[in-house]
Amino acid sequence: MSKEFFIPEGYSSALSLRETQHAIKYIKDIFQQTLSFAVTLDRVTAPLIVRKNSGINDDLNGVERKVDFDMLNEDGEAEVVQSLAKWKRLALYRYGYRVGEGIYTDMNAIRRDDDMDNVHSIFVDQWDWEKVITRDQRNIQFLKETVKSIVKAIVYTKRKVSLRYPVLSREICDEPFFITTQELEDRYPGLTPKEREREITREKKTVFLMQIGKMLKSGTRHDGRAPDYDDWELNGDILFWDEVIQDSLEISSMGIRVDATSLANQLKELKAEDRMKFEYHKMIADGTLPLTIGGGIGQSRLCMLMLEKAHIGEVQASVWPEAMLQICEKNGINML
Protein backbone atom coordinates (compact mmCIF):
# COMPACT_ATOMS: atom_id res chain seq x y z
CA MET A 1 0.00 0.00 0.00
CA SER A 2 1.34 3.46 -0.91
CA LYS A 3 2.32 5.96 1.77
CA GLU A 4 0.15 8.47 -0.14
CA PHE A 5 -3.09 6.65 0.74
CA PHE A 6 -5.39 9.34 2.16
CA ILE A 7 -8.74 9.25 3.96
CA PRO A 8 -10.69 12.55 3.80
CA GLU A 9 -12.17 13.40 7.19
CA GLY A 10 -15.94 12.92 7.30
CA TYR A 11 -16.09 11.63 3.73
CA SER A 12 -19.33 10.23 2.36
CA SER A 13 -20.04 9.42 -1.27
CA ALA A 14 -22.71 11.65 -2.80
CA LEU A 15 -23.97 8.76 -4.95
CA SER A 16 -24.95 5.19 -4.14
CA LEU A 17 -23.14 2.28 -5.77
CA ARG A 18 -25.91 1.88 -8.33
CA GLU A 19 -26.07 5.61 -9.07
CA THR A 20 -22.29 5.59 -9.42
CA GLN A 21 -22.41 2.87 -12.08
CA HIS A 22 -25.03 4.82 -14.04
CA ALA A 23 -22.99 8.01 -13.73
CA ILE A 24 -19.79 6.33 -14.94
CA LYS A 25 -21.49 5.30 -18.17
CA TYR A 26 -22.99 8.78 -18.58
CA ILE A 27 -19.58 10.44 -18.17
CA LYS A 28 -17.88 8.10 -20.62
CA ASP A 29 -20.62 8.51 -23.22
CA ILE A 30 -20.62 12.31 -23.02
CA PHE A 31 -16.88 12.85 -22.79
CA GLN A 32 -15.73 10.63 -25.64
CA GLN A 33 -18.31 12.17 -27.98
CA THR A 34 -17.21 15.67 -26.94
CA LEU A 35 -13.51 14.83 -27.25
CA SER A 36 -14.03 13.26 -30.67
CA PHE A 37 -15.70 16.44 -31.94
CA ALA A 38 -13.25 18.86 -30.25
CA VAL A 39 -10.05 17.23 -31.53
CA THR A 40 -11.42 15.54 -34.72
CA LEU A 41 -10.95 11.88 -33.81
CA ASP A 42 -12.41 8.56 -35.01
CA ARG A 43 -12.91 5.70 -32.60
CA VAL A 44 -10.88 2.57 -33.40
CA THR A 45 -10.28 -0.82 -31.83
CA ALA A 46 -6.95 -1.35 -30.08
CA PRO A 47 -4.97 -4.34 -28.77
CA LEU A 48 -4.75 -5.53 -25.19
CA ILE A 49 -1.66 -7.63 -25.99
CA VAL A 50 1.31 -7.26 -28.32
CA ARG A 51 4.27 -9.48 -29.16
CA LYS A 52 7.15 -9.31 -26.73
CA ASN A 53 10.26 -7.57 -28.09
CA SER A 54 8.24 -5.91 -30.85
CA GLY A 55 9.22 -2.44 -29.60
CA ILE A 56 5.54 -1.42 -29.63
CA ASN A 57 4.76 -1.64 -25.92
CA ASP A 58 5.22 1.45 -23.78
CA ASP A 59 8.36 1.17 -21.64
CA LEU A 60 7.19 3.95 -19.27
CA ASN A 61 10.31 4.71 -17.21
CA GLY A 62 12.12 1.67 -18.54
CA VAL A 63 12.10 -0.27 -15.27
CA GLU A 64 8.49 -1.41 -14.88
CA ARG A 65 7.89 -5.14 -15.37
CA LYS A 66 5.40 -6.07 -18.05
CA VAL A 67 2.91 -8.93 -17.71
CA ASP A 68 4.01 -11.52 -20.27
CA PHE A 69 3.09 -15.10 -21.18
CA ASP A 70 3.69 -17.79 -23.76
CA MET A 71 1.06 -18.88 -26.28
CA LEU A 72 -0.24 -22.32 -27.18
CA ASN A 73 1.10 -23.55 -30.52
CA GLU A 74 2.83 -20.24 -31.20
CA ASP A 75 6.50 -19.31 -31.06
CA GLY A 76 7.53 -16.38 -28.92
CA GLU A 77 5.75 -14.61 -26.10
CA ALA A 78 3.10 -11.91 -25.77
CA GLU A 79 2.77 -9.16 -23.20
CA VAL A 80 -0.08 -7.02 -21.91
CA VAL A 81 0.24 -3.39 -22.99
CA GLN A 82 1.23 -0.67 -20.50
CA SER A 83 -0.09 1.99 -22.87
CA LEU A 84 -0.60 2.45 -26.60
CA ALA A 85 1.69 5.45 -27.12
CA LYS A 86 3.57 3.79 -30.00
CA TRP A 87 0.82 1.60 -31.42
CA LYS A 88 -1.38 4.63 -32.20
CA ARG A 89 1.21 6.29 -34.41
CA LEU A 90 1.64 3.09 -36.39
CA ALA A 91 -2.13 2.78 -36.68
CA LEU A 92 -2.44 6.27 -38.19
CA TYR A 93 0.11 5.25 -40.83
CA ARG A 94 -1.45 1.85 -41.54
CA TYR A 95 -5.02 3.20 -41.72
CA GLY A 96 -4.10 6.07 -44.03
CA TYR A 97 -4.98 9.05 -41.82
CA ARG A 98 -4.03 12.49 -43.09
CA VAL A 99 -3.08 15.81 -41.51
CA GLY A 100 -5.83 17.05 -39.18
CA GLU A 101 -7.32 13.58 -38.71
CA GLY A 102 -6.91 11.31 -35.73
CA ILE A 103 -8.08 8.35 -33.69
CA TYR A 104 -9.03 7.48 -30.13
CA THR A 105 -9.58 4.18 -28.43
CA ASP A 106 -10.52 2.59 -25.12
CA MET A 107 -7.22 1.36 -23.70
CA ASN A 108 -7.04 -1.17 -20.90
CA ALA A 109 -3.66 -2.05 -19.45
CA ILE A 110 -1.96 -3.68 -16.49
CA ARG A 111 0.91 -1.93 -14.74
CA ARG A 112 1.96 -4.46 -12.15
CA ASP A 113 4.59 -2.22 -10.55
CA ASP A 114 2.33 0.78 -9.90
CA ASP A 115 1.63 1.79 -6.31
CA MET A 116 -1.94 1.41 -5.11
CA ASP A 117 -3.42 4.47 -3.45
CA ASN A 118 -6.27 6.95 -3.93
CA VAL A 119 -5.43 7.59 -7.58
CA HIS A 120 -3.19 4.66 -8.65
CA SER A 121 -4.26 1.15 -9.59
CA ILE A 122 -2.47 -1.72 -11.29
CA PHE A 123 -5.41 -1.69 -13.72
CA VAL A 124 -5.28 1.28 -16.10
CA ASP A 125 -8.16 2.45 -18.27
CA GLN A 126 -7.87 5.50 -20.45
CA TRP A 127 -8.82 7.04 -23.75
CA ASP A 128 -5.69 6.92 -25.88
CA TRP A 129 -5.71 9.34 -28.80
CA GLU A 130 -3.39 10.39 -31.62
CA LYS A 131 -3.64 12.90 -34.47
CA VAL A 132 -1.56 13.65 -37.59
CA ILE A 133 0.01 17.12 -37.69
CA THR A 134 2.30 19.13 -39.95
CA ARG A 135 5.90 20.02 -39.15
CA ASP A 136 4.81 23.65 -38.71
CA GLN A 137 2.48 22.52 -35.92
CA ARG A 138 5.33 21.07 -33.87
CA ASN A 139 5.39 24.07 -31.55
CA ILE A 140 4.30 25.19 -28.08
CA GLN A 141 1.37 27.26 -29.35
CA PHE A 142 -0.27 24.32 -31.12
CA LEU A 143 0.30 22.17 -28.04
CA LYS A 144 -1.39 24.76 -25.83
CA GLU A 145 -4.38 25.11 -28.16
CA THR A 146 -4.88 21.34 -28.10
CA VAL A 147 -4.69 21.32 -24.30
CA LYS A 148 -7.35 24.05 -24.14
CA SER A 149 -9.66 21.98 -26.37
CA ILE A 150 -9.31 18.95 -24.09
CA VAL A 151 -9.89 21.00 -20.94
CA LYS A 152 -13.03 22.52 -22.47
CA ALA A 153 -14.32 19.01 -23.26
CA ILE A 154 -13.72 18.01 -19.63
CA VAL A 155 -15.43 21.12 -18.25
CA TYR A 156 -18.43 20.64 -20.57
CA THR A 157 -18.80 17.04 -19.40
CA LYS A 158 -18.63 18.09 -15.74
CA ARG A 159 -21.41 20.63 -16.30
CA LYS A 160 -23.60 17.96 -17.87
CA VAL A 161 -22.91 15.63 -14.95
CA SER A 162 -23.78 18.33 -12.41
CA LEU A 163 -27.07 19.02 -14.19
CA ARG A 164 -28.01 15.35 -13.98
CA TYR A 165 -26.72 14.97 -10.40
CA PRO A 166 -27.13 18.39 -8.69
CA VAL A 167 -25.55 17.03 -5.50
CA LEU A 168 -22.23 17.09 -7.39
CA SER A 169 -21.76 20.84 -7.24
CA ARG A 170 -18.00 21.39 -7.47
CA GLU A 171 -16.79 23.20 -10.58
CA ILE A 172 -13.67 22.69 -12.72
CA CYS A 173 -11.60 25.71 -13.77
CA ASP A 174 -11.74 26.00 -17.56
CA GLU A 175 -8.58 28.11 -18.01
CA PRO A 176 -5.38 26.05 -17.79
CA PHE A 177 -2.29 27.69 -16.32
CA PHE A 178 0.80 26.82 -18.38
CA ILE A 179 4.16 26.33 -16.67
CA THR A 180 7.32 24.33 -17.46
CA THR A 181 8.96 21.91 -15.05
CA GLN A 182 11.96 24.25 -14.81
CA GLU A 183 9.76 27.23 -13.99
CA LEU A 184 8.05 25.10 -11.37
CA GLU A 185 11.38 24.09 -9.81
CA ASP A 186 12.46 27.74 -9.77
CA ARG A 187 9.19 28.66 -8.07
CA TYR A 188 9.38 25.97 -5.37
CA PRO A 189 13.08 25.00 -5.10
CA GLY A 190 12.75 23.40 -1.67
CA LEU A 191 9.90 21.04 -2.56
CA THR A 192 9.81 17.61 -4.17
CA PRO A 193 8.31 17.31 -7.68
CA LYS A 194 5.04 15.95 -6.26
CA GLU A 195 4.87 18.73 -3.69
CA ARG A 196 5.47 21.31 -6.43
CA GLU A 197 2.59 19.90 -8.45
CA ARG A 198 0.34 20.02 -5.40
CA GLU A 199 1.15 23.65 -4.63
CA ILE A 200 0.79 25.02 -8.16
CA THR A 201 -2.46 23.14 -8.72
CA ARG A 202 -3.85 24.23 -5.35
CA GLU A 203 -3.22 27.81 -6.45
CA LYS A 204 -4.21 27.70 -10.13
CA LYS A 205 -6.78 24.82 -10.04
CA THR A 206 -6.16 23.70 -13.65
CA VAL A 207 -2.54 23.37 -14.79
CA PHE A 208 -0.65 22.13 -17.82
CA LEU A 209 2.85 21.20 -16.65
CA MET A 210 5.21 21.19 -19.64
CA GLN A 211 8.55 19.62 -20.59
CA ILE A 212 8.38 16.45 -18.53
CA GLY A 213 11.37 14.15 -18.90
CA LYS A 214 13.76 17.00 -19.57
CA MET A 215 16.78 17.43 -17.28
CA LEU A 216 16.40 20.36 -14.87
CA LYS A 217 19.08 22.79 -13.71
CA SER A 218 19.21 20.90 -10.40
CA GLY A 219 20.54 17.85 -12.27
CA THR A 220 17.31 15.87 -11.76
CA ARG A 221 14.19 15.25 -13.81
CA HIS A 222 10.76 16.28 -12.62
CA ASP A 223 9.51 12.85 -13.65
CA GLY A 224 10.53 10.07 -16.00
CA ARG A 225 9.17 9.94 -19.51
CA ALA A 226 10.07 7.38 -22.17
CA PRO A 227 12.50 8.78 -24.78
CA ASP A 228 10.75 7.38 -27.85
CA TYR A 229 7.25 8.84 -27.99
CA ASP A 230 6.95 12.37 -26.45
CA ASP A 231 9.29 15.17 -27.44
CA TRP A 232 10.39 16.38 -24.00
CA GLU A 233 10.35 19.99 -25.21
CA LEU A 234 6.73 19.68 -26.40
CA ASN A 235 4.84 17.57 -23.88
CA GLY A 236 3.12 17.84 -20.51
CA ASP A 237 0.49 16.72 -18.02
CA ILE A 238 -2.98 18.17 -17.44
CA LEU A 239 -3.51 18.54 -13.69
CA PHE A 240 -6.69 19.44 -11.78
CA TRP A 241 -7.10 20.36 -8.14
CA ASP A 242 -9.15 17.64 -6.45
CA GLU A 243 -10.96 19.16 -3.49
CA VAL A 244 -11.95 15.80 -2.03
CA ILE A 245 -8.44 14.37 -1.65
CA GLN A 246 -6.84 17.82 -1.33
CA ASP A 247 -4.29 17.05 -4.00
CA SER A 248 -3.28 17.52 -7.59
CA LEU A 249 -4.88 14.95 -9.90
CA GLU A 250 -3.18 14.14 -13.20
CA ILE A 251 -5.88 13.44 -15.77
CA SER A 252 -3.81 13.39 -18.95
CA SER A 253 -0.26 12.86 -20.11
CA MET A 254 0.18 14.10 -23.67
CA GLY A 255 2.46 15.79 -26.15
CA ILE A 256 3.80 16.29 -29.62
CA ARG A 257 5.66 13.12 -30.55
CA VAL A 258 9.31 12.72 -31.39
CA ASP A 259 10.63 13.32 -34.87
CA ALA A 260 13.88 11.83 -36.15
CA THR A 261 16.05 14.47 -34.46
CA SER A 262 14.41 14.48 -31.02
CA LEU A 263 14.22 10.67 -31.03
CA ALA A 264 17.97 10.39 -31.65
CA ASN A 265 18.79 13.01 -29.01
CA GLN A 266 16.58 11.52 -26.32
CA LEU A 267 17.71 7.95 -26.92
CA LYS A 268 21.30 9.12 -26.68
CA GLU A 269 20.64 11.02 -23.44
CA LEU A 270 19.22 7.90 -21.78
CA LYS A 271 21.78 5.58 -23.43
CA ALA A 272 18.95 3.70 -25.12
CA GLU A 273 20.21 3.78 -28.71
CA ASP A 274 19.73 0.01 -28.89
CA ARG A 275 16.02 0.65 -29.43
CA MET A 276 16.85 1.76 -32.98
CA LYS A 277 16.84 -1.93 -33.91
CA PHE A 278 13.02 -1.90 -33.76
CA GLU A 279 10.97 -1.26 -36.88
CA TYR A 280 8.92 1.44 -35.14
CA HIS A 281 12.01 3.52 -34.35
CA LYS A 282 13.44 3.04 -37.85
CA MET A 283 10.16 4.29 -39.34
CA ILE A 284 10.45 7.50 -37.31
CA ALA A 285 14.10 7.97 -38.26
CA ASP A 286 13.45 7.61 -41.99
CA GLY A 287 10.26 9.70 -41.98
CA THR A 288 7.87 6.87 -42.82
CA LEU A 289 5.61 7.48 -39.81
CA PRO A 290 3.58 10.70 -39.77
CA LEU A 291 4.28 13.53 -37.35
CA THR A 292 1.70 13.36 -34.58
CA ILE A 293 0.36 14.70 -31.30
CA GLY A 294 -1.34 12.43 -28.82
CA GLY A 295 -1.88 11.32 -25.27
CA GLY A 296 -3.91 9.41 -22.76
CA ILE A 297 -6.86 10.60 -20.66
CA GLY A 298 -7.57 8.54 -17.57
CA GLN A 299 -11.14 7.26 -17.59
CA SER A 300 -11.37 6.26 -13.94
CA ARG A 301 -9.54 9.37 -12.75
CA LEU A 302 -11.90 11.56 -14.78
CA CYS A 303 -14.90 9.76 -13.26
CA MET A 304 -13.35 10.07 -9.80
CA LEU A 305 -12.94 13.84 -10.24
CA MET A 306 -16.40 14.43 -11.66
CA LEU A 307 -18.22 12.21 -9.17
CA GLU A 308 -16.25 13.74 -6.28
CA LYS A 309 -14.92 10.40 -5.05
CA ALA A 310 -12.12 9.82 -2.57
CA HIS A 311 -10.64 6.70 -4.18
CA ILE A 312 -10.23 5.46 -7.72
CA GLY A 313 -11.55 2.08 -6.53
CA GLU A 314 -14.97 3.73 -6.20
CA VAL A 315 -15.19 4.01 -9.99
CA GLN A 316 -13.25 0.96 -11.22
CA ALA A 317 -13.14 -2.72 -10.30
CA SER A 318 -9.59 -3.81 -9.54
CA VAL A 319 -7.47 -5.65 -6.97
CA TRP A 320 -6.53 -3.86 -3.74
CA PRO A 321 -4.55 -4.68 -0.58
CA GLU A 322 -6.76 -6.22 2.09
CA ALA A 323 -5.68 -3.60 4.62
CA MET A 324 -6.75 -0.83 2.25
CA LEU A 325 -10.16 -2.43 1.70
CA GLN A 326 -10.73 -2.64 5.45
CA ILE A 327 -9.77 1.01 5.98
CA CYS A 328 -12.02 2.12 3.13
CA GLU A 329 -14.99 0.17 4.47
CA LYS A 330 -14.59 1.78 7.90
CA ASN A 331 -14.46 5.29 6.35
CA GLY A 332 -17.42 5.27 3.97
CA ILE A 333 -15.41 4.60 0.82
CA ASN A 334 -17.47 2.10 -1.18
CA MET A 335 -15.16 0.17 -3.50
CA LEU A 336 -16.55 -1.46 -6.64
Active-site residues, by number, are: 58, 111, 126, 237, 250, 253
Any idea what DSSP says for residue 306?
H
DSSP letters, 243-296, are TTTTEEEEEEEEEEEP-HHHHHHHHHHTT-GGGGGSHHHHHHHTT-SPPEEEEE
In sign, the C-alpha dihedral spanning 107, 111, 112, 116 is negative
Helices within the chain (DSSP H only): 17-39, 85-95, 140-164, 181-187, 193-204, 260-269, 279-285, 299-306, 322-330
CA 88 to chain centre: 14
User: Helices 17-39 and 140-164 sit at what angle, rounded to 10 degrees?
Assistant: 150
Residue 230's H or E segment, with its range, is strand 230-242
